[in-house]
Structure formats: C-alpha cells, structure tokens
Structure 1
Amino acid sequence: MKITVDEDKCCGAGQCVLLAPDVFDQSEDDGIVILLDAAPPEALHAIVNEAAAVCPAGAIEVNA
C-alpha cells in the first residue's frame, strides 16, 4: 500500500486523523493533513482505506 495526499484539496475535517492517527496528523496552523506513514503496515490497511473513503475532500489516494 502506498498513500499520497493532496494538501491543496484537504479541507481540514480531520476524519483521517481520528481513524488512523498512526498514519495521518494535522497541521496546528491550518488543520491540513500531514502524512506520517506513506507505506503503513498491513494491519492498518483497512482503516486507511476507510479514512480515504470518508475524506470529504477526496484528498487521500491509496494505491495497492
């Protein structure tokens, strides 16, 4: 799994951080997503896919 985020699309909703705090964080300045782990372990794949699916801005892309 490889994750990319489009910071320009991010609206700072924070759903990704709530679901997968080991993979995503938010900037304290503007709430924009910070990718902590672009290739998380398999144990986190399901929750990362869910975080991408619920992102209201579609800012998270997951590739197998």
Structure 2
Amino acid sequence: MALLITNKCTNCDMCEPECPNNAISMGDSIYEINPSLCTECKGHYEKPTCESVCPINNCIITDPEHIETDEQLLEKFVIIQGLA
C-alpha cells in the first residue's frame, strides 16, 4: 500500500527529507508520493516516517489506488535498494 498525501497538506517540508526512498516530492500545489517508490518504509523503519513527522492529522493516508501486501512492499524495497 503506497501512501497518499491529501489536500490537507500545508507544505511544511517535514516529510520529504525523511523519506528513505526519495518517494516524496513537491507537486503542483502540495507534496506528492510516488507510489512506485513508496514502501511505507518497510525495510527501513517500523512505521512510515512521513506519517510520524507530519503535523497534520490524517494528512497522509493509504492510497486506495495502490494497495500492496507487506510482502510486495518488501520486494519493492529490495529492488529499489538494488539488493536483488
């Protein structure tokens, strides 16, 4: 399950530098998460760092368009890190 930044985003710049996969970047008006790079921090941390540092409640949610299992997220982590 990739994550999604909602329109509640205030562009506080907290999430982007915390993403270990560089999946977060500035979009047209708010930060966006690239679902092909988002592993919900699987392989890095116990929970997503972007959610941990975001000061807005429920600003970062599960992306309903990109549902993945923990196994799929870990496989993506291995590929992104070049461990495969």
Q: Once the 2 structures are TM-superposed, how far is the Cα of residue 51 of structure 1 from its aligned partner?
A: 1.5
Aligned to 2:14: 15
Q: Once the 2 structures are TM-superposed, how far is the Cα of residue 48 of structure 1 from its aligned partner?
A: 6.2
Rg larger for: 2
Between structures 1 and 2, the one with greater helix share? 1
User: Does 12-21 or 47-56 show the bigger shift?
Assistant: 47-56
Q: Once the 2 structures are TM-superposed, how far is the Cα of residue 11 of structure 1 from its aligned partner?
A: 0.2
Question: Residues of 1 paired with 2:8 and 2:50: CA distance?
Answer: 15
Question: Residues of 2 paired with 1:48 and 1:23: CA distance?
Answer: 15
Q: Which runs of 5+ in 1 are unaligned?
A: none
- Judged with a 3 Å threshold, the aligned counterparts in structure 2 of structure 1 residues 47 and 12 are, in CA distance, closer, same or farther, namely farther
Partner of residue 31 from structure 2, selected from 23, 30, 33: 33
> Which structure exhibits the higher relative contact order, with contacts defined as CA atoms closer than 8 Å and separated by 6 or more residues?
1
Between structures 1 and 2, the one with greater strand share? 1
CA contact (8 A) 1:49 1:62 kept: no
The TM-score, its normalising length taken from structure 2, stands at: 0.52
Percentage identity across aligned positions? 17
Say if 2:53 is the partner of 1:54: yes
CA RMSD of aligned residues (A): 3.0
Q: Which runs of 5+ in 2 are unaligned?
A: 64-69, 71-84
Question: Residues of 1 paired with 2:46 and 2:11: CA distance?
Answer: 18
Aligned to 1:43: 43
Q: Once the 2 structures are TM-superposed, how far is the Cα of residue 18 of structure 1 from its aligned partner?
A: 0.8
